[in-house]
Amino acid sequence: MAVIGSGPAGIYTAEALVKQSAEDVRVDVLERLPTPYGLVRYGVAPDHTSIKSIANYLRRVLELPEVRFLGGVTLGTDLSVDDLLGHYDAVVYCTGAMVDRKLGIPGEDLPGSVAATDFVNWYCGHPDVDPGRFTLDTSEIAVIGVGNVAVDVVRVLAKTADDLRSTDVPHDVLQRLAESEVKAIHMVGRRGPEHAKFTLKELRELGDLANADVCVRPDEAVVLGGDFPRQVQGNIKVLQSWAAREPIGRPRRLDVRFWLRPVEILGTERVEGLKLERTRLSEEGRVVGTGEFETLPVGMVLRSVGYQSVPLPGVPFSERTMTVPNEAGRVRDREYVAGWLKRGPTGVIGTNKSDAAETVRTLLADLEGRERGASEPIDTLLAERGVRPVTYEEWLAIEAAEAELARSLGRGERVKLVGLEAMLRACRV
Ligand SMILES: Cc1cc2nc3c(=O)[nH]c(=O)nc-3n(C[C@H](O)[C@H](O)[C@H](O)COP(=O)(O)OP(=O)(O)OC[C@H]3O[C@@H](n4cnc5c(N)ncnc54)[C@H](O)[C@@H]3O)c2cc1C
Ligand SMILES: NC(=O)c1ccc[n+]([C@@H]2O[C@H](COP(=O)([O-])OP(=O)(O)OC[C@H]3O[C@@H](n4cnc5c(N)ncnc54)[C@H](OP(=O)(O)O)[C@@H]3O)[C@@H](O)[C@H]2O)c1
């Protein structure tokens, strides 16, 4: 079996294939990066070390004798769908959702208007983004969206570089964070506190920031009606408690705003402001503008309004749902999908486990009674194309080099190596 992508969905799929299959099974996990774990490595915030430790569970799957990790292999450039179907009994696509959703407002493409995907990739040391990409040389920043990614981004901006010193943030990025001139961060939701997507635990953490006062306007914290799920009630309570407290002069200030939608990012050469319109819900429950405007004097706008998947060459894709159409994970004969590519960019890491298990149940039921295991390993084809996959042992060497780097810098357990070249140098002599 081939699993494409080594994020949580890919690795849980590999695990489910081994556990659920009554027959012997071998699974190749093909990954475009030299490193496994997808967003666990390049998404989960660096200061959320206990969540990051889920990698210790995922690594045990890659260490199963039935499973092989092949890093640095990209579906679409190194291999086609036909190549995969010619070498495996079945293929499961688990390539996640790696680009940002657009706001569709004027000024969105100005320098200083940044997708959260890029910013997160930056502080997580993703090889697609140069560590020199961002300079935090503005005193006010707006973050659009009130989901958990927005909360992560806000927290990283509000903390001091010292707070993040023991994390795996790349050293050049830590330097940029140390030089940050940010004084005020505005997190902006287009609906009310009762509609915010962040979860209670993540929200509470913002109130505990030693370096920032968290402010909510009392009029924006008002919520009508009361029959909300417990999580939402918790969010409302926390936000209302913040509305009742005064700032105490901490170096940074975080304003959590509601009922404001972005209408234009202002500026000529670069971002100079964000124009917002006050909103309300229409009778049908849609967000509508009230014609009342306000401008935030920000030099940077971080758009954190959700991720989306990209089509894989030769694989069906719905431009409406931005996912791969499937029935319980089945795409076409011998082709399957799991994770964010299957259901869209929602849910926590654990959600991908049950999702992958469903796909694997479908796959194994479809393959029952069919001849399996007749095809040649993919290795010869990859070698003919000059592709030398990064092995699991080579990934361990990258990890060891990251631990060594942390030791040499007097930082925590590891510091990310940035760039494909640095990673390959660390694992190949
Ligand atoms: C910024 C951020 C922070 C998050 N923090 C948390 C958190 O703290 N706790 C939590 O529970 N959940 C968190 N989540 C959600 C969680 O990360 C996702 O539920 C999960 O990662 C989705 O898994 P996936 O395998 O579908 O996608 P991904 O994790 O994105 O994995 C996809 C993998 O496919 C690879 N790939 C892509 N294209 C190709 C290709 N063409 N060929 C080969 N390989 C390819 C990618 O490199 C990647 O490794 C966070 C999400 C984001 C965006
Ligand atoms: N610690 C964690 O557990 C953690 C951390 C990070 C991410 N995650 C998970 O990863 C998933 C993705 O998170 P996410 O934050 O990217 O997405 P999300 O939860 O879907 O939040 C997106 C936010 O953007 C807003 N938005 C969308 N379009 C907008 C527009 N045009 N204008 C203004 N605002 C707009 C949404 O508002 P509306 O509601 O009004 O549409 C919402 O507030 C979630 O399931 C999340 O829980 C978990």
Q: What is the pLDDT of residue 373?
A: 80
Tell me which residues have their CB closer than 6 angstroms to ligand 2: 103, 144-150, 152, 189-191, 195, 197, 202, 261-262, 304-307, 345-348
Average pLDDT over the chain, rounded to an integer: 96
pLDDT 10s digits, 335-383: 999 999 999 999 999 999 999 999 999 999 999 989 888 788 999 999 9
Check the annotation: does 347 bind a ligand: yes
pLDDT 10s digits, 101-155: 999 999 999 999 999 999 999 999 999 999 999 999 999 999 999 999 999 999 9
Q: What CATH fold (topology level) applies to the domain 2-98+309-390?
A: Rossmann fold (3.40.50)
pLDDT 10s digits, 181-222: 999 999 999 999 999 999 999 999 999 999 999 999 999 999
Q: What is the pLDDT of residue 42?
A: 97
Distance CA 56, CA 59 (A): 5
Q: In this structure, which amino acid lies at residue 27?
A: V
Mutate to test the pocket of ligand 1, among 37, 52, 53, 95 (most ligand atoms within 8 A of CB): 95
Order the strands of the 260-266 sheet from edge to edge. 260-266, 273-281, 287-296
Distance CA 213, CA 249 (A): 7
Q: What is the pLDDT of residue 224?
A: 87
Does residue 96 have its Cβ closer than 6 Å to ligand 1? Answer: yes
Question: Which atom, in ligand 1's list, is nearest to the CA of 310?
Answer: 38
Which candidate, 250, 248, 228, 247, places its Cα nearest to that of 237? 228
Q: What is the pLDDT of residue 429?
A: 75
Q: What is the pLDDT of residue 237?
A: 97
Mutate to test the pocket of ligand 1, among 3, 13, 35, 39 (most ligand atoms within 8 A of CB): 39
Distance CA 141, CA 112 (A): 10
| Separation of CA 296 and ligand 1 centre (Å) | 32
Q: Where are the domains of the chain?
A: 2-98+309-390, 105-305
Distance CA 353, CA 172 (A): 35
Which candidate, 23, 31, 34, places its Cα nearest to that of 7? 31
| Separation of CA 107 and ligand 1 centre (Å) | 29
Q: In this structure, which amino acid lies at residue 111?
A: P
Question: Which atom, in ligand 2's list, is nearest to the CA of 307?
Answer: 16
Domain pair 2-98+309-390 / 105-305, same fold? no
| Separation of CA 96 and ligand 1 centre (Å) | 5
Note the helical H segments in 246-367: 340-343, 351-367
Question: Which atom, in ligand 2's list, is nearest to the CA of 150?
Answer: 15
Q: Cα 74 vs. chain centroid, distance in angstroms? A: 19
Q: How far is CA 169 from CA 45, 301, 361, 396, 411, in A?
A: 9, 22, 38, 19, 10
Percentage of residues in the chain having pLDDT higher than 70: 100
Contact 213, 183 (CB under 8 A): no
| Separation of CA 41 and ligand 2 centre (Å) | 19
Does residue 339 have its Cβ closer than 6 Å to ligand 1? Answer: yes
Does residue 33 have its Cβ closer than 6 Å to ligand 1? Answer: yes
Mean pLDDT of 256-285: 97
Q: What is the pLDDT of residue 232?
A: 96
Contacts of 358 by beta carbon, 8 Å cutoff, 6+ apart: 328, 329
- For residue 241, is pLDDT > 80? yes
Which candidate, 146, 160, 124, 164, places its Cα nearest to that of 302? 146
Q: How many degrees, rounded to 5, is the angle at CA 309 between CA 307 and CA 315?
A: 175
Q: Cα 110 vs. chain centroid, distance in angstroms? A: 23
The full length of the chain comes to 429
Q: How far is CA 212 from CA 204, 208, 257, 290, in A?
A: 13, 9, 16, 31
Q: What is the pLDDT of residue 300?
A: 98
Distance CA 140, CA 266 (A): 14
Question: CA end-to-end span of the chain, whole Å?
Answer: 31
Beta strand extents in 200-281 (DSSP E only):
212-216, 252-257, 260-266, 273-281
Does residue 302 have its Cβ closer than 6 Å to ligand 1? Answer: no
Q: What CATH fold (topology level) applies to the domain 105-305?
A: FAD/NAD(P)-binding domain (3.50.50)
